[in-house]
A and B are shown apart, each in its own frame.
Chain A
Amino acid sequence: MKSDQLILNNPQSSPADLAKSKKKKMNAKMMAYYLMVIPAALLFFAFHTFPAIQGIYYSFTNWNGINLDYDFVGFKNYINLFKDTAVRDSYLFTFKFAIFAGVLVNIISLAVAIGLNAKIKGRNFFRAVYFLPNILSVLIVGFIFNFVFTSIIPNLGEKYQIEFLTENILGNANLAWIGILIVFIWQSCAFNVILYLSGLQTVPTELYEASGLDGANRWQQFWKITFPVIAPFFTINMVLAMKNALMVFDQIVAMTGGGPGTVTTSISYLIYTGGLAGGEFAFQSANGVIYFIVIVAISVFQLKVLQKREMDM
């Protein structure tokens, strides 16, 4: 207001007034920036950070999610988490699953990507086919494979007298996780193949020609030329594949419901079933907090280790 009046009263603005009006323009500009950012930050806090804090808060209570009153119980939920066999089993299953998934998805994706990058017929067609699973609903793909494992493969096994195919692996406590792993790989490779392919296209072809003249074989070319260039893609793909595998949920719902028994109950599936239907709201909130710490620790660890490798190469 004040600078407005000054300018109005004094048509021949002094340099000081000009500076003030410029400052006012700056303020209006900053105001616009604040208006762009602050409401979004508040919404994000209200619907993302606040529930996360609430989760931490409830993890120190004994709330079952339904009753009106609850008590604080300190670290009791956390202590019980480490004693609970269902929780322990879910972590063991999820880690086993994530390690196999991370490694296999990356090996298969890289192999397919190298194939797609070679001189092949119909490359664009095949590229489109390999990416197709990425656009499909994870849940529905799970339902489709559920039928493949429970009915189609056993029927084929019986028809052609192939003993090991006659069993429904989703009903076998020792093999059910492999069924889920296959679906996960089938769908996750789509994204990783395309990412590796875009990495491979950044490898300069002259390097291959030069090393070919030097007598390097294919294997040496891969480890000395290709892999160092695509190492950053390896990092992204490994972190993403492991993170998605640690969060596995839809496939479990569609294929096993956590069974047979509880052998394929992943951490997120346990938090969902125990916390929302099982009356373990507070207990599973504590589980969620530990799960969060585990995911952050693994992601940071992977980024550190893999990035160090990248620099060493």
Chain B
Amino acid sequence: MRERTNWPVTIFIALGSVAILIPLYISISIALKNPQELAESALSLPLNFHWENFTKAIEVTNFFNAFKNSSIITIFTLVFTLLTNSLVAYGIARNMHRKLFRNLYYYFVSALFIPFPIIMLPIVKQTSALGLNNTAGLILLYVVYGMAMNIFIYVGYIRSIPIELEEAAIVDGCSTWGVFWKVIFPLLTPINATVGILTCLWAWNDFLLPLVILSDSAAATLPLVQYVFQTEFGADYNLAFASYLMAMAPMVIVYLFAQKWIIGGVVKGAIK
């Protein structure tokens, strides 16, 4: 293998990345222009920064309320998912030789094949009958639905942890719960990162579940707000794009700082 830089390939890759970045550049450019400047050209560099688009968008969409809703849902989903799904997976992973646990494993994992639309109509009725058509209900559904994928990821990882580590703790008088929280859970950190990243991306960006579950518009998440206010934005694209940018910004900022970590985590989740 030659160690010289392969310039044709570098150019090909650079051109492809332009295709990725252009829509994002356009979004920023439109969000910073006023309607006249947009009418002249959408692609030109924004010369006067119209920050008032952002303040207006914050007012119109009640941005901070939606931001709060999305944050609460994402954080609670994340915490409960990490604490509960890993525990369930541990119970299953250490008893795979027992029929009940093995069957439960297949039960959870086979749910990966069930498309959401078959559940969608009944779950709407069910959550509203149980009074769960709100933020709490949404968190519950994310934690429960996440189990299918997460148990698959966790079980594979836990089974690779040598059981001798646990036996030592049991000799020291640890209960099964103690073994999990004191010995196993700390060892799960790399895979917790993977599950955590996937869970955050899902809960933050998901549109369909909030769309069908939430009944009160005050509980709307950021993606849902963009949908609800689509008619209100009307022809004011500058306002709309300022709003889109603010909805995407938190994840993008996190990504800028933790990019290597996030990519690694997602890959690990996929190839286990």
Task: Name A residues whose Cβ lies closer than 8 Å to a Cβ of B.
Answer: 28-29, 32-34, 36-37, 40-41, 43-44, 47-52, 54-55, 58, 65, 112, 115-116, 118-122, 124, 126-141, 143-145, 147-148, 151-152, 155-156, 186, 191, 194-195, 198, 205, 208-209, 233, 236, 240, 246-247, 249-250, 253-254, 267-268, 271-272, 275-276, 281, 284-285, 288-289, 291-292, 295-296, 299
Q: When the two chains form their complex, are residues A47 and B117 in contact, meaning their CB atoms are under 8 A apart?
A: no
A313 nearest CB across to chain B (Å): 19
Q: Name the contact of B12 in the complex, choosing from A54, A115, A138, A296 (C-beta under 8 A).
A: A115
**Chain B residues with CB below 8 A from A246, complex form:** 115
Q: When the two chains form their complex, are residues B271 and A236 in contact, meaning their CB atoms are under 8 A apart?
A: yes
Q: When the two chains form their complex, are residues B115 and A291 in contact, meaning their CB atoms are under 8 A apart?
A: yes
Q: Restricting to B173-204, which residues have a CB under 8 Å from any CB of A?
A: 175-177, 180, 201, 204
Q: When the two chains form their complex, are residues A295 and B121 in contact, meaning their CB atoms are under 8 A apart?
A: no
Q: When the two chains form their complex, are residues A37 and B21 in contact, meaning their CB atoms are under 8 A apart?
A: no
Q: When the two chains form their complex, are residues B13 and A58 in contact, meaning their CB atoms are under 8 A apart?
A: no
Report the bound CA distance from A288 to B90 in whole Å. Answer: 33
Q: When the two chains form their complex, are residues B17 and A130 in contact, meaning their CB atoms are under 8 A apart?
A: yes
Report the bound CA distance from A268 to B118 in whole Å. Answer: 9
Given contacts A29-B176, A120-B6, contact A139 B20 (CB under 8 A): no
**Chain B residues with CB below 8 A from A122, complex form:** 10
Residue B255 at the chain A interface, CB threshold 8 Å = yes
Q: What would be 27 A-B contacts, judged by CB atoms less than 8 Å apart?
A: A36-B87, A36-B180, A44-B108, A51-B126, A119-B6, A120-B13, A126-B17, A129-B20, A132-B24, A134-B266, A136-B248, A137-B226, A137-B247, A138-B205, A138-B207, A139-B223, A139-B227, A141-B23, A144-B244, A147-B26, A147-B30, A147-B237, A147-B241, A236-B271, A276-B121, A288-B120, A289-B118
Q: Restricting to B120-159, which residues have a CB under 8 Å from any CB of A?
A: 120-126, 140-141, 144-145, 147-148
Residue B263 at the chain A interface, CB threshold 8 Å = yes
Q: When the two chains form their complex, are residues A144 and B27 in contact, meaning their CB atoms are under 8 A apart?
A: yes
Given contacts A52-B118, A236-B270, contact A132 B88 (CB under 8 A): no
Q: When the two chains form their complex, are residues B212 and A144 in contact, meaning their CB atoms are under 8 A apart?
A: no
Residue B5 at the chain A interface, CB threshold 8 Å = yes
Q: Restricting to B46-84, which residues have a CB under 8 Å from any CB of A?
A: 84
A103 nearest CB across to chain B (Å): 18
Report the bound CA distance from A130 to B85 in whole Å. Answer: 30
Q: When the two chains form their complex, are residues A52 and B119 in contact, meaning their CB atoms are under 8 A apart?
A: yes
Mostly, the A contact residues are helix
Q: When the two chains form their complex, are residues B247 and A140 in contact, meaning their CB atoms are under 8 A apart?
A: yes
Q: When the two chains form their complex, are residues A128 and B259 in contact, meaning their CB atoms are under 8 A apart?
A: yes
**Chain A residues with CB below 8 A from B4, complex form:** 119
Residue B217 at the chain A interface, CB threshold 8 Å = no
Q: Restricting to B200-227, which residues have a CB under 8 Å from any CB of A?
A: 201, 204-205, 207-208, 212, 222-223, 226-227
B178 nearest CB across to chain A (Å): 10
**Chain A residues with CB below 8 A from B168, complex form:** none
Report the bound CA distance from A54 to B94 in whole Å. Answer: 33
Closest to B240 in A: A143
Q: When the two chains form their complex, are residues A133 and B120 in contact, meaning their CB atoms are under 8 A apart?
A: no
Closest to B132 in A: A47
Residues 233-266 of B, flagged 1 when their CB comes within 8 A of A and 0 if not, give 0000100110010011001100100011011001
Given contacts A148-B23, A271-B117, contact A198 B271 (CB under 8 A): yes
